[in-house]
Amino acid sequence: TPALSIRGLTKVYGNGFHALKGIDLDVPQGDFFALLGPNGAGKSTTLGIVCSLVQKTAGEVSIYGIDIDRDFAKAKYHLGVVPQEFNFSQFEKVEDIVLAQAGYYGMSLREARPRCAQLLKDLGLWDKRNGPARMLSGGMKRRLMIARALVHRPRLLILDEPTAGVDIELRRSMWEYMRRINREEGTTIILTTHYLEEAESLCRNIAIINHGEIVKNTSVRELLTEL
Ligand code: ADP
Ligand code: ADP
């Protein structure tokens, strides 16, 4: 079973715009996968549908073999998502933001506390845990979203432009962290990016999307030999 399987995915927005024109994608378990494309290509629309935030017009999406139309409630346990925009309360305590997510996934506090502590330490947020989220720098807020997305130990982590607007030093440390959870925890990772360099440095497989169509789907190694 692939971690993510997409068949004939189509999205026509309310204004008649065809954002996705029947895309097919398979991401194997344990993969580090990039969806690469320019702005407006359809990357966020694709991820939005996978996360059930955007309604699809046609097609099928399965997460670890679970059809999201049939049982998103079950599929979502396999899924951790890091959106592009900060979507937590700026006034809430850093630690509470992560613990609340654990609660949402049905984890007990007993289970959630050590997991949360481990994530906040690994992501360099431990010293900030008792302060409100608004006290964090932009890079820290991004790492907080990663901690929150991982708290329930999802098998599939999806990140939408994780290093957009991030300085080079933080970008490298985020790359290192993502490599580590892919390698050590076997977490399947899918990220969108418009930097070829990011896909090249991190990912094993890549799909290139443009104008709502997959124009290439190959291994990164293969792609580089063609350039
Ligand atoms: P739908 O219900 O068709 O999925 P939304 O409710 O997400 O569409 O958006 C409603 C309307 O907002 C769209 O029809 C469009 O006119 C406008 N809109 C929102 N975001 C965008 C965007 N990124 N580009 C162009 N138009 C947008
Ligand atoms: P990407 O993430 O690759 O930059 P998106 O999936 O955000 O691309 O957008 C794909 C296309 O769909 C863009 O042309 C965008 O303007 C359009 N779009 C996005 N959301 C809406 C919406 N709600 N209504 C109409 N058009 C939209």
- pLDDT grade, residue 75 (50/70/90)? very high
Best residue among 9, 11, 15 to mutate for probing ligand 1, ranked by most atoms within 8 Å of CB: 15
Q: Is the Cβ atom of 15 under 6 angstroms away from ligand 1?
A: yes
Residue type, 26: D
Residue 68 has pLDDT above 80, yes or no: yes
Residue 141: the pLDDT is 93
Residue 227 has pLDDT above 80, yes or no: no
Q: Is the Cβ atom of 162 under 6 angstroms away from ligand 2?
A: no
Nearest CA to ligand 2 atom 22: 13
Alpha-carbon dihedral of residues 21, 159, 87, 139, nearest 10 degrees? -140
Q: Are 156 and 150 in contact (CB under 8 A)?
A: no
In 3D space, the residue among 179, 160, 166 whose CA is nearest the CA of residue 79 turns out to be 160
- Other C-beta atoms closer than 10 Å to the C-beta of 160 total 21
Nearest CA to ligand 1 atom 17: 15
Residue 194: the pLDDT is 87
- pLDDT grade, residue 167 (50/70/90)? confident
- Other C-beta atoms closer than 10 Å to the C-beta of 72 total 15
Q: Is the Cβ atom of 13 under 6 angstroms away from ligand 1?
A: yes
Residue 175: the pLDDT is 92
Q: What is the mean pLDDT of residues 7-11?
A: 98
Token representation of residue 206: 């890549």
Residue 53: the pLDDT is 92
Residue 226: the pLDDT is 83
- 32 three-state secondary structure: strand
Q: Are 190 and 1 in contact (CB under 8 A)?
A: no
Residue 124: the pLDDT is 94
Residue 37: the pLDDT is 94
Distances (CA, A) of 33 to 4, 88, 218: 11, 26, 10
Token representation of residue 159: 């990140």
Residue 92 has pLDDT above 80, yes or no: yes
Ligand minimally distant from the alpha carbon of residue 12: 1
Residues 195-213: tens digit of each pLDDT: 888 999 999 999 999 999 9
Residue 29 has pLDDT above 90, yes or no: yes
Q: What is the mean pLDDT of residues 89-109?
A: 95
Best residue among 21, 44, 53 to mutate for probing ligand 2, ranked by most atoms within 8 Å of CB: 44
Distance CA 165, CA 73 (A): 33
Distance CA 141, CA 134 (A): 8
Best residue among 11, 12, 13 to mutate for probing ligand 1, ranked by most atoms within 8 Å of CB: 13
Ligand minimally distant from the alpha carbon of residue 209: 2
Residue 161 has pLDDT above 80, yes or no: yes
CA of 192 to the centre of ligand 2 (A): 14
Residue 215: the pLDDT is 96
CA of residue 212 relative to chain centroid, distance: 19
Q: Is the Cβ atom of 38 under 6 angstroms away from ligand 2?
A: no
Which ligand 2 atom lies nearest to the CA of residue 212? Answer: 10
Backbone angles phi, psi at 54, to 5 degrees: -120, 135
CA of 196 to the centre of ligand 2 (A): 20
CA of 45 to the centre of ligand 2 (A): 6
What percent of the chain stands above pLDDT 90? 86
For the chain, the maximum distance between any two Cα atoms, rounded to a whole number of angstroms, is 51
Tell me what ipTM this predicted complex has: 0.75
Q: Are 60 and 3 in contact (CB under 8 A)?
A: no
Please, what is the average pLDDT of the chain? Answer: 95
Higher local confidence (pLDDT), 166 or 215: 215
Which ligand 2 atom lies nearest to the CA of residue 160? Answer: 2
